[in-house]
Amino acid sequence: MKVLITNLFNQAGTQGIAQQNVAKIGRELGFQEIDIFKYDINVDDDHAMGCRLDGVIAAVQSNDIVIIQTPTWNGLRYPRRLVNKIKAYSNTKIIIMIHDVVSLAFNSPEERLRETINIYNKADLLIVPSQKMYDILCEHGLQVKKYMIQKLFDYPVSNELPTPSFHKKMIFTGAPPRFPFLLDWHYETPLDLYTGEPYDPTGKNVTVFPYMKDMQLLSNLAQGGFGLVWPSSEANNYYDLLLPYKIGTFLAAGIPLIIKKGLAAEKLLIDNQVAFAVDSLDEADSLIQNISADEYNTLSKRIQEFNFLIKNGYFTKKLLLDAVFSVLFQDN
């Protein structure tokens, strides 16, 4: 018996990075890795895909536990056949970890959502990003009773980072076309925008930074300010179901968060005094303009204690170990 975990490659942005970090932490726990590549699945007929998947799961044997991170970003035919092939081995246990539900994110037809949920229903355990997400899936046909809620994404960091200084600015990472509020940043509080896509800051209180990798990004963020975690639109209820990866990024850098009320992780972040929850960007602007250096430094000190867990992968380690225990151990 062994534990295996999927790792996604060829998927740009945080969608790929998040899965790779989870898999990296899984390897530290002794899990074996199953590599999955995003590709044009239309090049494969059923036979070719079957052969491809036989190679992907070549290490799987009877009695193994397989943690599948989803989505695979390969449509639904690929993960459906992947799950079926793993279930064909006797007494295998499948844990499906849901990062995103594509059919919910893009308002796909109900039939598409139910096809997705049919895949989830073959799991022995689900890991979901929020209670809200689990409840929504149940409303549309989810039958898996055993589930766990992921608290936060970790951001493993081995290098030392500076202690953030007090700066009245917000920091955002993301693609401007997905976030309309970036097109009209009229607030007194300046915004540092990290993006790999074109953005015209003319007439806006915005400074643009190019896409940066890992330590370069964290070093910049750790100079100080407030990390902004905000939905793509005020009416985007899907964002409330998610656990945004950038939460872990900002906290690993040691800076406090500004989040929109209703975010799934709101209670955890507020209870641990690492974030402010607001209803609007106007409220966020006012809050930052009125905070003192002493208040910021006290908050920053608290985050330096809290983010020890994030920088060392402890949230993910606990989650993965608890999941393995849950499918094997009956605690009466």
Instruction: Give the domain ranges of the chain.
Output: 3-154+313-328, 170-311
Burial of residue 21, with CB atoms counted within 10 A of its CB: 0-12 exposed, 13-18 middle, 19 or more buried = buried
Burial of residue 289, with CB atoms counted within 10 A of its CB: 0-12 exposed, 13-18 middle, 19 or more buried = exposed
Query: Is it true that 3-154+313-328 and 170-311 share their CATH fold?
Result: yes
The predicted model scores a pTM of: 0.94
**pLDDT tens, N- to C-terminus, the chain (332 residues):** 999 999 999 998 888 999 999 999 999 999 999 999 999 999 999 999 999 999 999 999 999 999 999 999 999 999 999 999 999 999 999 999 999 999 998 888 999 999 999 999 999 999 999 999 999 999 999 999 999 999 999 999 888 888 999 999 999 998 898 898 998 899 999 999 999 899 999 989 999 999 888 889 999 999 999 999 999 876 568 888 999 999 999 999 999 999 999 999 999 999 999 999 999 999 999 999 999 999 999 999 999 989 999 999 999 999 999 999 999 987 65
170-311 maps to CATH 3.40.50.2300: no
Residue 330 CA to residue 84 CA, distance in Å, equals 25
What is the rounded (10 degree) CA torsion for 226, 269, 316, 153? -40
State the pLDDT at residue 66: 98
Q: What strand order describes the sheet that includes 93-98?
A: 32-37, 3-9, 65-70, 93-98, 125-128, 147-149
- CATH fold of 3-154+313-328 reads Rossmann fold (3.40.50)
